[in-house]
Structure 1
């Protein structure tokens, strides 16, 4: 399956547009995670090296946007913010929801929101933790490393369970998600080993390729999609590093790859844990 993203929807598919921006068609709904649509260039202390594989109009109607966090331009840039606020619903953490305003809705950790499906039933969106840096990283007054970040788990009757990690560097967090949530059929992992010299002594702020393969093993997910690994200069590992790490771990068959803007069919996988 390698057709490109258009307004036409798929029964169940994922497409990474570049950076973290991921389109998820599930249960007749279209959701977009962490929209970034700005052109390449300088964005404060970060440098964007490539634009998205699809523009806002290419996506057609979107039912909801999932924002892992709003404070970093590689996860929500200027056009991405405008795009999100033009959709019916934005789900994000409480602090981000206050900053973004309507239609952003706060989704505290371990709580969920149900979005009606066109054919009946719902897709439940659960908020799960994400830790944007190492375990010993400096924490703010709310206990967040770097900033508040939210991951998401999508589920519904007859649908694959999909985990969107957000910017997370912690395997302990992944293990907690695996323990508390239904078995994850599809894991969209934000990888790239993002490094910023002024933060956490330049240590990874997101999953390294090796930790991503370990996360896949912990989750038992038969389908893994890597996002957040290209398009920005501070991503220190790319797709070849991720493919090598999954091969080294004996998990190469779980990693699904496609060009940016191309669909990956989810089918009806069953988690192995």
Structure 2
């Protein structure tokens, strides 16, 4: 596995690669499959309580065939915008939570925490997430803010990858660490997203300091940060992550990313 910021994300696949597209959206090539997380492909625009300030670094058509969308939740525009919804419905599979899958219909399938869906040699696990402070407002289903899941990808001979989804809490991460004691790479939704009308404006996703705590708790060797640029609700950026990881003695684990470029990859294509 190597850091490679000179290679643009395109249709060519790799056995293992992770790159960012802006906002929460990442591309994961994993075991012969291509995954896209929380697709957001709209141009900049207004969404009421917040704005999209930057468009995607790569258009959907540049990605070639995509095998599955990993959708942490379906009810918030900054994780699943209009063009992202069209894109997802054209993919063979959307993996998300059970209530989200019920709203979306096919090709979505719904998983509960720690359920697994197998795609060839790849195991896709849904894992818990907490979309706000522990004492935050709960919806009718008992979820803080809304139903949200992260994901863990496993396959023989490949790094184990954790995608946090919009998680703000340490409790879910502790449960994930117990279930998966050897996670290698974390794709963390950071940015300390805040909406003034929700939970007193407190963070709905990881702060930079808490992201460093998550990296230390999971003992991952690499962190790819997403969800910290491109939308007005992010109150922290990569500079904050840089500082907090350095202060925690973890700066070498935080990967410098450029949207539209591979952040990590095995150099040989499939």
Report the CA distance between 1:44 and its aligned residue: 2.8
How far apart, in 2, do the equivalents of 1:232 and 1:133 lie?
A: 17
Report the CA distance between 1:108 and its aligned residue: 1.3
Q: Secondary structure at the match of 2:215?
A: helix
Report the CA distance between 1:227 and its aligned residue: 0.4
How far apart, in 1, do the equivalents of 2:181 and 2:38 lie?
A: 23
Matching of residue 10 in structure 1 with residue 14 in structure 2 = yes
Aligned position for 1:53 = 57
Q: Secondary structure at the match of 2:132?
A: coil
Alpha-carbon contact 2:41-2:60 (below 8 Å) kept: yes
Alpha-carbon contact 2:18-2:26 (below 8 Å) kept: yes
Question: In the TM superposition, what whole-angstrom CA distance separates every residue of 1:56-111 from its partner, at most 9, and x where no partner exists?
Answer: 10110001000000000000001101100100110000010011110000111110
Question: In the TM superposition, what whole-angstrom CA distance separates every residue of 1:8-28 from its partner, at most 9, and x where no partner exists?
Answer: 012211111000000001111
Aligned position for 1:126 = 125
Task: Give TM-score, length-normalised by structure 2.
Answer: 0.95
Count of equivalent residues: 263
How far apart, in 1, do the equivalents of 2:151 and 2:261 lie?
A: 22
Matching of residue 217 in structure 1 with residue 196 in structure 2 = no
Aligned position for 1:119 = none
> Which stretch of the first structure deviates more once superposed, 39-48 or 143-152?
39-48
Task: Give TM-score, length-normalised by structure 1.
Answer: 0.94
Matching of residue 185 in structure 1 with residue 150 in structure 2 = no
Q: Which runs of 5+ in 1 are unaligned?
A: 117-121, 269-273
C-alpha RMSD of matched pairs (Å): 1.1
Q: Secondary structure at the match of 1:159?
A: coil
Q: Which runs of 5+ in 2 are unaligned?
A: none
Report the CA distance between 1:267 and its aligned residue: 4.8
Aligned position for 2:256 = 257
Higher relative contact order (CA 8 A, sep 6+): 2
